[in-house]
Structure formats: C-alpha cells, structure tokens
Amino acid sequence: MNEVTAWLVDDRVTTRGVADLYALLDHDERRRADCKDTEDGRRRFVVAHGAVRRIAGEYLGAPPGELTWRIGRHGKPELDGRWTGVEVNLSHSGGLCLIALSDKRAVGVDVQRHVPGLAVVAMARRYFAPQEAESVAEADDPVETFARLWARKEAVSKAAGGRLTQILPLPTTDHAVVETPSSAYRVLDLGTGIPAGFRAAVACEGRAPFSVDLVPWRP
C-alpha cells in the first residue's frame, strides 16, 4: 500500500521562528507574504510555505531555500529544477496548516475549520450533488458534515490541479474513489490527530488504496 506523510502545522510560531522561515522563501513568496492585509495573514503564509520548504528539503536532501516551483499543466504548483521527485501540497484554515507529501502519486490535501453560523445547508444545495445536500440538511451536525464533504472535494481538486467548481458537484458521500473527467482519485478522511472543530482529507490520483502517517511539525 502506498503511504502519504502529512504534517500538521500550528502557525503559532515565535517571531524569531517566522523570521527564520521567511529567510527561506524566494522573491515571489516574500512578495506574496508582504502583500497580506494583516499580520496574521502574513504569518500564516510564511509558516505554511516555509514549512513546505523545510519538509520537502529534508526529504530530498536539499537546502530548503534552493527549492524552486513551477505551475504545472493543470495550474498546480510543482517542484522544478534540480530538486524534484516528490508531490507536495498544502492547505491552511483557522490557524492550522496541513502539508502532504507523496513520492509516487499526485496528492492533494485540505483542512477545514467548522464555522458556526455558516449557511451550510444553502451552500450544500447550491454546490453539492442532491444526495449530499440532503445529507447535510438532515445531519445532526450540519456544519461538521458540510466541512467533511468540502474537505474531500478540495483535496481532490488540489490533487487534480483543476477548478474546485468542477469537483464540487461530484459525489463523495461514502465513496472512497471520486471520478473526475480526467482521472479517478481515492480520498481518505483524517481523524485521529486532527483537532476538534476541524475536518481534513487527503486525495491521491488513482484507485489504489493508500495510508496516511499524520505527524506534528514545529520549526
């Protein structure tokens, strides 16, 4: 069975830690970080992208600051240049970042914070397949059910590198494999290790099963 490693990152990092991670970023990443509207937004961006560099760099035996990226044919960032050979993807929500790495298959990851008061039933009826919309409307906890389904769809979308709007209508309820127009993707919910109030999922291209090793990460 293929294995994916996923790192759970808490963005509550010291000022010194943020500065160290910022130093690893390339010119474009620094520009994007500096354009954030809030200090929290800047910190979260720096921590997430700095963590990706450290994690991928350690796996590849590469200096984190030397990693380079390009936009792939489906719009998904991919490692480029001297240091390649792994698929890496990140997601952040509500102070948490989730980073997944696979050396065999295209991978996508998503973490979703439960948002009390969000009109999840209306959103599900707008975006989801009818049976999924009903599962949200009839759930004991509609917010949790909506977040779980949305995390699955985001993970598939990010693994495929396509538009989320193309994935949202595709059924994921009780389906381990999601069929997209271009390929099939197996989806796995993450449970143990994900904090209360969040849902998370990992998707890999292909039908073959895979496992996820979830580990915490600190700079």
Average pLDDT (2-18) is 92
φ, ψ dihedrals at 74, nearest 5°: -105, 10
Return the percentage of the chain with pLDDT > 70, whole number: 99
Please report, for residues 111, 127, 218, the alpha-carbon distance to residue 52 in angstroms, rounded to integers and kept in the order given: 15, 31, 12
pLDDT higher than threshold 70 for residue 74? no
User: Position 159: which residue type?
Assistant: A
Please, which residues bridge with residue 148 across strands? none
| CA 28/CA 25 separation, integer angstroms | 8
Q: Would the pLDDT of 25 be above 80?
A: yes
Q: Which two tokens stand for residue 34?
A: 């500096």
Q: How far apart are CA 50 and CA 121, in angstroms?
A: 36
Answer yes or no: are the C-beta atoms of 183 and 96 closer than 8 Å: no
pLDDT surpassing 70 at residue 66: yes
pLDDT above 70 (res 57): yes
Report the SS3 class of residue 94.
coil
Q: Per-residue pLDDT for 60 more than 90?
A: yes
Confidence at residue 79, expressed as pLDDT on a 0 to 100 scale: 92
What pLDDT band is residue 73 in, cutting at 50, 70 and 90?
low
Check whether 168 has a pLDDT greater than 80.
yes
Sequence letter at residue 45 = F
Q: Does position 162 have pLDDT exceeding 90, yes or no? A: no
182-194: pLDDT as tens digits: 889 999 999 889 9
- The pair of structure tokens assigned to 148 is 């779980």
**Is 159 in contact with 203 (CB distance < 8 Å)?**
yes
Mean pLDDT of 116-125: 92
pLDDT at 35: 95
Helix (H) and strand (E) counts for the chain? 7, 10
Contact (Cβ atoms closer than 8 angstroms) between residue 214 and residue 193 = yes
Cβ contact 43:55 at 8 Å: no
Listed in sequence order, the DSSP H helices in the chain are 15-22, 27-34, 39-60, 120-127, 130-138, 142-160, 164-167
CATH architecture of the domain formed by 2-217: Alpha-Beta Complex (3.90)
In the chain, where are the structural domains located? Answer: 2-217
Query: What's the mean pLDDT when you consider all of the chain?
Result: 92
Residue with tokens 């350690």: 58
Q: If you count them, how many residues does the chain have?
A: 219
Give the 3-state secondary structure of residue 201.
strand
> Does residue 137 carry a pLDDT above 90?
yes
* pTM of the model as a whole: 0.92
User: Helices 15-22 & 39-60, crossing angle to 10 degrees?
Assistant: 60
Of these ranges, 121-125, 176-180, 192-196, the one predicted with the greatest mean pLDDT is 121-125
pLDDT mean over 150-168: 90
Q: Is the pLDDT confidence value at 1 over 80?
A: no
